[in-house]
Amino acid sequence: MTLQPANNHSRKIYLSGVAILKGIVRLIQNAKLYEDNNKLVIDAVHAFKAAIKISSAHSRDVTLQIINGRFFLQEEKLPLFRNDTKLFNQMLQFLEKRSVYGFHFDADIDAVSVKDIIAFFRFLSLSLKHENPSEWLKMELDKNDIHWLVIIQEAASKPDDNAISEEFGQPEALAKKKETAKKTYHYSLNSVKEVAEKLLAGKHTNIRKSVRMVQRMVDIITEDDTTFLSLSTIRMYDDYTFTHSLNVALLAMSLGQRMGMKRSMLEKLGLCGLFHDLGKIEIPKNILNKREKLNDFEFNEIKKHSVNSALLILKLKTDKYRKVHLFVSPFEHHIRYDHSGYPSVDKKRPISLFGRILTIVDVYDAITSPRIYRPSSLSPDQALGIMLADSGKHFDPVLLKLFVNMMGVYPVGTLLTLDTGEIGLVLHKNEKTDQTRPEVQLLRKNADQTYTRGKCIDLTDCSPDTGKFIRNVIKTEHPATHGIQPAKFLI
């Protein structure tokens, strides 16, 4: 007789977890032996789908993860009973050999074809034949447009486990995290472009790939948002609308994480950021990229993009529940805190939390981005100063204060000129000491006017002889004034 947890909730988690693990084993075995149309294969797929649906409850995804050598379902540890030891150990060994430490499964799994589910489990089995199994597996999933799940490639520990701080301190682990973040950034950028291109062509498009990318970003941000704050400094003239949308999503999720939002909320917020400017694809490029001042007609065309974003979101192929959350904040992000923006709405109507967050991060990224009609931009610290002057009018004062505290006196990517004649990019703020003295990545100017990395320094360092600071900030500038792309040197 199998022992089971006493209370109903724990029992449900336990039964769901065991059902998913058994479903995975069954699918792996059948996928090796039979074709896709075999009854045993199809039955195994249906059983797996049922297990995922039961586990999802009201969540938009189901997370099965290995933490400290144990399985966790939806962040709750699966109890281990004697009858399950063989199953748990078999799956632990199978996954860890492939450097796979869990999955985020899409709860809307009914929409996934039998072919895609079987393809994944075949790729999972085959991955062991490759030098880096999890990387090969991820590439095969992207190549074959399989986006109903995300692979967890990092071994995790609970926060009270001392091993986690040691792992974060290892250069190899940090380099791997940065590389994962960079790939996720570029995959996310491509996912937004794909959606925009299909909508422009008049096609209905699903956002499954974008959802997966946002979930990957949430994984990284909840561990450490510094890397993505560095990536949010990426600026591209040609792809401004898309890089701006992605940067807004990153900044919004980072702020939401600092506010203590749950994972499901961060995912919704990230998607809202990703699609908040979708309506700009309908604005003629000669207006969007006009160098001169816009006339009244042109400005009114620009102002339509908030409504158009909301209307385009309604055309996305996703469930109604997700559309409801996606629709509102893109519509609101130019209304302003005091309702003085656009589109015009009843002043009694409160602006949603996501709408107020998007307003802040949208303006910050916009005014720190060089544009074709505005070659010079504000440095990040100057941008925050100007935004603070509009606190309570353009911006929610409480959220803006949280955002400024998150970014620091000198936000990541600010170009500093020091009294030693050196220049450098802000790498990290000093959370526990003096925020006016961040860690800096020094830059060396080459003969061809390009730059290379120098050493990393801490502006709190003092001379052992005089006790005075070795370096002091003289001025701040936007990196674009020197043709510098900060992310190139920070990641």
CATH of residue 207: 1.10.3210.10
Predicted local confidence at residue 353, as pLDDT: 96
Query: Which residues lie closer than 8 Å to 431 by C-beta, 6 or more apart?
Result: none
CA gyration radius for the chain?
A: 25
In this prediction the pTM is 0.69
Predicted local confidence at residue 171, as pLDDT: 58
Q: Can you tell me the distance from the alpha carbon of 310 to that of 352, in angstroms, rounded to the nearest whole number?
A: 14
Predicted local confidence at residue 429, as pLDDT: 80
Q: Which of 235, 230, 228, 182 is nearest to 482 (CA)?
A: 235
Predicted local confidence at residue 158, as pLDDT: 47
Q: Is the pLDDT of residue 455 over 90?
A: yes
User: What's the domain count of the chain?
Assistant: 3
Mean pLDDT, residues 215-223: 83
Predicted local confidence at residue 174, as pLDDT: 65
Of 375, 407, 439, which residue constitutes the final position of a domain? 407
Q: How many CA atoms lie within 13 A of 240 on its CB side?
A: 17
Per-residue confidence at 51, pLDDT binned at 50, 70, 90? very high
Mean pLDDT, residues 432-457: 89
| Residue 3 counted as domain residue | no
Per-residue confidence at 1, pLDDT binned at 50, 70, 90? very low
Q: Is the pLDDT of residue 54 over 70?
A: yes
35 and 107 share one domain: yes
Mean pLDDT, residues 18-34: 92
- As beta bridge partners, residue 123 has none
For 179-191, the pLDDT digits (tens) are 778 888 888 888 8
315 and 354 share one domain: yes
| Residue 184 counted as domain residue | yes
Query: Which residues lie closer than 8 Å to 406 by C-beta, 6 or more apart?
Result: 254, 255, 258
State percent of the chain over pLDDT 90: 46
Per-residue confidence at 374, pLDDT binned at 50, 70, 90? low
Query: Burial of 204 by CB count in 10 Å (0-12 exposed, 13-18 middle, 19+ buried)?
Result: exposed
Q: Is the pLDDT of residue 382 over 80?
A: yes
Q: Can you tell me the distance from the alpha carbon of 254 to that of 370, in angstroms, rounded to the nearest whole number?
A: 23
Of 124, 139, 160, which residue constitutes the final position of a domain? 160
Mean pLDDT, residues 171-180: 70
Q: Which of 325, 323, 314, 317 is nearest to 358 (CA)?
A: 325
Predicted local confidence at residue 168, as pLDDT: 38
| Residue 165 counted as domain residue | no
Q: Which domain holds residue 242?
A: 170-407
77 and 187 share one domain: no
Average pLDDT taken over every residue of the chain = 86
138 and 188 share one domain: no
Of 127, 160, 193, which residue constitutes the final position of a domain? 160
| Residue 197 counted as domain residue | yes
Mean pLDDT, residues 120-128: 94
176 and 152 share one domain: no
Count of Cβ atoms closer than 10 Å to residue 370 Cβ: 17
| Residue 2 counted as domain residue | no
